[in-house]
Amino acid sequence: MKQDQPRPTPRAGIMDIEAYVPGKSTAPAGVTKVHKLSANENPLGPSPKAIEAARKVAAKLEVYPDGSARRLREAIADVHGLNPANIVCSNGSDEILGLLAQTYLAPGDEAVFTEHAFMVYKIYIQAAGAKPIAVKETEERADIDAILAAVTPATRIVFLANPNNPTGTYVPFQEVRRLHAGLPKNVLLVLDAAYAEYVRRNDYEAGIELAGSSENVVMTRTFSKLGLGGARIGWMYGPAHIVDAINRVRGPFNVNATAIEAGIAAIRDRAHIERSVAHNEKWLAWVSEQLTLLGLRVTPSVGNFVLIHFPDDKRHSAAAADDYLSARGYILRRVTAYGFPNALRMSIGTEEAIRGVVDALKTFLKS
Ligand SMILES: *Cc1c(COP(=O)(O)O)cnc(C)c1O
């Protein structure tokens, strides 16, 4: 096609966006057994009750879902002790993050996040025409003083992944409160607590209290890391005026019928969630220790994954390790785009997968 012909052009800034590249899910040809450890999925799978609920709704897929996902909001509210009117459900929490950017950012505005933060923030900030501001972390952890120092009169949103992906580090809640206290009242603080269920620390909070008592804080959550990544269910909890704004912008049926029914069944299956969290607690600690014994540096993680750093020599680099592991069916996540060219992120998979990776890396590092 001739380039001098007029044709539709995206808004300024859209073509500067680097599209999100999900983790690999396939192994090289010839590998028979594949362990996907690249997307922080639940190795225990979905709740059997969610599977059953999804099966049931399949027979009635001609019916539109309830556009407000009322029963799902009520189930979430019930489990967490919240008012369902302060919840918005979404097609994964990614959607809610995008809606927040679209609703509160305009060209000329700035939005702040940390240098190794979850990548979708930057994408949605740019998609809204605003300026992404990445601030330095300290020891692979969000630095509250650095975030506060980056706030200008143009700042409209601060995104904080707590815990963060791909580092797995978290900010104690006293620090989050200090961040909130230091922000101007017109800046929206988005607490992305995608891994909240997995965190086992006394000084951690997902943000329910703060979002429930402030006019400028929302907490986002997801069902994806607990076994329903494919169903795409996320939610936001926050003040009424933000819920009202988001409800005007979101698609009228943004959560599909299967997601609603599977989500209700899943959040009520507390035993499945407890099993998933217990599995993670055990194998996260084990694998962190084993990899450290192999001489690899592991960023201390409270999530359902670990960030593994590789030696400087080319033969034992993250890229070489990725090739070696992939050839054996272990699919990890390259994190160069997150500012870690020599690290791999690994989900806490099944015992078989986790032991397999440790054994394979033992041989790899000796080679
Ligand atoms: C996985 C993840 C999400 C979003 O997941 P959805 O599948 O869209 O709900 C959000 N934030 C972080 C930090 C994540 O790792």
Instruction: For residue 284, give its domain range.
Output: 14-45+271-366
pLDDT value of residue 4: 80
Same domain, 287 and 145: no
Q: Is 338 helix (H, G, I), strand (E, B) or coil?
A: helix
| Sign of the torsion formed by the C-alpha atoms of 244, 246, 252 and 256 | negative
Please tell me whether residues 279 and 261 are part of one structural domain. Answer: no
Q: Which residues contact 180 (CB under 8 A, 6 or more apart)?
A: 189, 210, 214, 216, 217
| CA–CA dist 193, 207 (Å, integer) | 8
Based on the structure, what is the number of domains in the chain? Answer: 2
- Regarding whether 247 and 213 lie in a shared domain, the answer is yes
| 62 belongs to a structural domain | yes
Give the residue, out of 119, 124, 225, with the most ligand 1 atoms within 8 A of its beta carbon, to mutate for a pocket test. Answer: 225
- Of the three residues 244, 268, 292, the one that is the final residue of a domain is 268
Nearest to 335 by CA among 285, 288, 299, 286: 299
Cβ(121) – ligand 1 distance below 6 Å: no
pLDDT at 5: 85
**CATH code of the domain in which 353 resides:** 3.90.1150.10
Residue 86 lies in a domain: yes
147 within some domain: yes
**What is the model's pLDDT at position 288?**
98
Q: Is-cis flag, bond preceding 300, omega within 30?
A: no
Residue 285: what are its φ and ψ, rounded to 5°? -65, -45
Residue whose entry in the numeric block shows the structure tokens 């922000």: 183
Q: How far is it, in rounded angstroms, from Cα 87 to Cα 80?
A: 11
| Residue 128 sits in the same domain as residue 197 | yes
Residue nearest to atom 11 of ligand 1 (CA): 194
pLDDT at 1: 54
Strands 35-36 and 330-331: parallel
Q: Are residues 56 and 143 in the same domain?
A: yes
- The helix/strand/coil state of 5 is coil
Does residue 240 share a domain with residue 142? yes
Instruction: Look at residue 20 in the predicted model and tell me its pLDDT.
Output: 87
Residue nearest (by alpha carbon) to ligand 1 atom 15:
165
Residues 324 and 308 in one domain: yes
Domain assignment present for 245 = yes
Beta bridge partners of 114: 135
Per the listing, tokens 């009117």 go with: 85
Give me the helix-helix angle, 270-293 and 351-366, nearest 10°. 10
For residue 24, what pLDDT is reported? Answer: 78
Is the same domain home to 251 and 361?
no
Q: 3-state SS of the chain: helix, strand, coil percent to 5?
A: 45, 15, 40
Looking at the fold, whether 125 and 203 belong to one and the same domain comes out as yes
| Claim to verify: residue 240 and residue 200 sit in the same structural domain | yes
Q: Which of 268, 300, 322 is the last residue of a domain?
A: 268
Residue 26: what pLDDT?
A: 82
9 belongs to a structural domain: no
In this structure, the residue with its CA closest to atom 2 of ligand 1 is 194
Q: Is 102 in contact with 124 (CB distance < 8 Å)? A: yes
Rounded Cα–Cα distance for residues 247 and 95 (Å): 12
Whether residue 170 sits in one domain with residue 225: yes
89 and 211 both lie in a single domain: yes
Q: Which two tokens stand for residue 195?
A: 């891994």
Phi, psi dihedrals of residue 321, rounded to the nearest 5°? -65, -40
Single out the residue in 249, 268, 287 at which a domain terminates. Answer: 268
Q: Residue 222: beta bridge partners? A: 234
**Ligand 1 centroid to residue 333 C-alpha, Å:** 15
Nearest to 257 by CA among 70, 43, 98, 5: 70
Asked if the structure places residue 83 within a domain, the reply is yes
In 10 A of CB 253, how many CB atoms?
Answer: 14
**CATH number of the domain bearing residue 216:** 3.40.640.10
- The answer to the question of residue 236 being in a domain is yes
Blockwise average pLDDT, block size 10, the chain, 367 residues: 80 91 82 94 98 97 98 98 98 98 97 97 97 98 98 98 98 98 98 98 98 98 97 98 98 98 98 98 98 98 98 96 97 96 98 98 96
In a domain, 8, yes or no: no
